[in-house]
Structure 1
């Protein structure tokens, strides 16, 4: 995810997408449930070297990576879900979201290389074989080595597939499919990756069945930061769509922007009947309700208590799926 401007970064995802929550109920087993042996050894039929396409590049692996650095909270959670906890030697952008309860105790024990971007020294000291990054923007040869420089020294960089061009407007909930397939190949655990994929498919199938035949609920997706209201498009519009809603601000933001400042007057004028409020960082529902009541008391959603809350970081990987299921349950109770 591309570096955002000061202040807006908090409102935009403490992003992304984004903390990201986990899978919740469903067939997926507990955090880190795949055994260490499964993670270390390739199943019958898997052969190295393997090559994986990622964001227009080909990543080459002579063996499964033993040392992984994760660049996003939700990416760390997916690695844990795949049983790869013992491979994670560092994580950065740890402020991108509060770990879901399912993964929090595990994540707390993992080395943190930075609440935001890591320093060059911290990253290289971790000696990663693989960096799973939130975008390419850090690898500019100044802040961090370039992707080519890292590859030359044996470190592959995989970018979240929804952010290949650092353009969050193109991200979708189902980008996780691409990354799951890639991770299954890279680590020689395609069976475990398929299990997680099957759980995702089933959870989204249940939502689709629940909302079948219902008209999409018009919603405004909003968040606030230091008294300013923002609206969101991109993956949040996709979350709303899959949950049986229609983001009324979708397609109205400036080109290339997945979030934008929103005037209070415009929101009052559109008078949406439902708000999807994205909570950032440690912001509480009570704090958000107090702001909405004081600044937007005439908006129908506020008057009628039709405000539904999601963590702002419910956007990528398993958390995007969690966002869909939580929003669908709230909208179509």
Structure 2
């Protein structure tokens, strides 16, 4: 995000049209819930890395009172900032821990964290305490979160939902110029990833995203159709071999072997919730399992290691697209 940092630093001299200041009280609709803000929040808690890094990229690190739910270490350019913010939990925090920070806003990356069956709490529980909750639109628009472990997509994920999150959070905090600059950078990254593959025929190329596994001896969690990871493949002209519309369904290796994807994309995580969160263990499995080791992608070394957060609906997705497009263009994963 270095280009954005430079852009943000020079906003006053950039020649960009100045976005209008936020007029309070601000009222917005968020995933079917009306939210109202009398002023810009001074204290926020994030449940999910995507929202955390969006706020950091908007220059709002000083407004964060606590973070939680991390898949990867924070982006390097935000490390100094992040070191000053309390991490309430590596995974899901308790309702009491979040409320104890006295936030004027709680952002949630996933509805299963803050929603009808929220692991942390329901939106109503927070709103009863006059704490507005902002759910990233990417996890509620065109998605049924009451079916499947991670929800089921009823419509194809739209990248515009990320731009919407950036714009709305920028409006809530009255930093709309920064939101416009960030979205411009993200859109440029997406265009560059697609341009790298211009003229390359990938119509016969397929791929599989392996996120994790509750145990290496059982079926893995892989990316389904219509979700964020599937969008990444479609954007680059590659077909997902998994047909389920669940966000991250479990599929057996025998079934995946029959599909025999051209590429395997495996998640690298810094969390250790499941054994297969460790990408090295994924690699060991792929090279030793009697079924998986016979996949063409494994035998040819067409395995891309990608940060788990780059498979989510946040600013890292655009870096993930760059990594994938480079590999697909060259025919080999980046070192």
2:228 to 231, 235, 256: 235
Structure 2 residues without counterparts, runs of 5 or longer: 12-17, 146-150, 272-276, 331-335
Structure 2 contact 26–36 (Cα < 8 Å) conserved: yes
Superposed counterparts of 1:6-21, under 5 Å: none
- With over 3 angstroms needed to count, the CA separation of the structure-2 counterparts of 1:131 and 1:332, relative to structure 1, is same
SS in 2 for 1:317: coil
The corresponding residue for 1:308 is 304
Structure 1 contact 173–320 (Cα < 8 Å) conserved: no
Structure 1 residues without counterparts, runs of 5 or longer: 1-22, 36-41
Superposed counterparts of 1:132-211, under 5 Å: 132-137=107-112, 138=114, 146-164=122-140, 166=145, 167=151, 169=153, 171-211=157-197
* CA distance in 1 between partners of 2:121 and 2:278 (Å): 38
Structure 2 length as normaliser, TM-score?
0.79
Q: Could you tell me how far 1:62 is from its partner in structure 2?
A: 0.9
Q: Could you tell me how far 1:182 is from its partner in structure 2?
A: 0.4
SS in 2 for 1:260: coil
1:246 to 225, 239, 249: 239
- With over 3 angstroms needed to count, the CA separation of the structure-2 counterparts of 1:31 and 1:143, relative to structure 1, is farther
The corresponding residue for 1:325 is 322
The corresponding residue for 1:106 is 81
Structure 1 length as normaliser, TM-score?
0.80
The corresponding residue for 2:54 is 78
- Of stretches 228-237 and 291-300 in structure 1, the one that deviates more from structure 2 is 228-237
SS in 2 for 1:59: strand
Q: Could you tell me how far 1:45 is from its partner in structure 2?
A: 4.3
SS in 2 for 1:198: helix
Higher relative contact order (CA 8 A, sep 6+): 1
> Is the aligned partner of 1:87 residue 2:63?
yes
Superposed counterparts of 1:29-68, under 5 Å: 29=5, 45-68=21-44
1:294 to 285, 288, 295: 288
Deviations, residues 62-98 of structure 1 (Å, cap 9, x unaligned): 110111011111211110110101100111223x333
Q: Could you tell me how far 1:125 is from its partner in structure 2?
A: 1.4
* CA distance in 2 between partners of 1:194 and 1:163 (Å): 22
Deviations, residues 88-125 of structure 1 (Å, cap 9, x unaligned): 0111223x333222223322321122223222321221
* CA distance in 2 between partners of 1:142 and 1:263 (Å): 29
* CA distance in 1 between partners of 2:166 and 2:133 (Å): 15
* CA distance in 2 between partners of 1:127 and 1:147 (Å): 16
Deviations, residues 145-180 of structure 1 (Å, cap 9, x unaligned): 642343343311000111125336364444211101
Deviations, residues 261-292 of structure 1 (Å, cap 9, x unaligned): 22222222222222122234465554332211
- With over 3 angstroms needed to count, the CA separation of the structure-2 counterparts of 1:312 and 1:68, relative to structure 1, is same
Structure 2 contact 48–110 (Cα < 8 Å) conserved: no
The corresponding residue for 2:251 is 262
* CA distance in 2 between partners of 1:267 and 1:105 (Å): 42
* CA distance in 2 between partners of 1:231 and 1:145 (Å): 27
Q: Could you tell me how far 1:259 is from its partner in structure 2?
A: 1.8
- With over 3 angstroms needed to count, the CA separation of the structure-2 counterparts of 1:286 and 1:32, relative to structure 1, is farther
How many pairs were matched up? Answer: 298
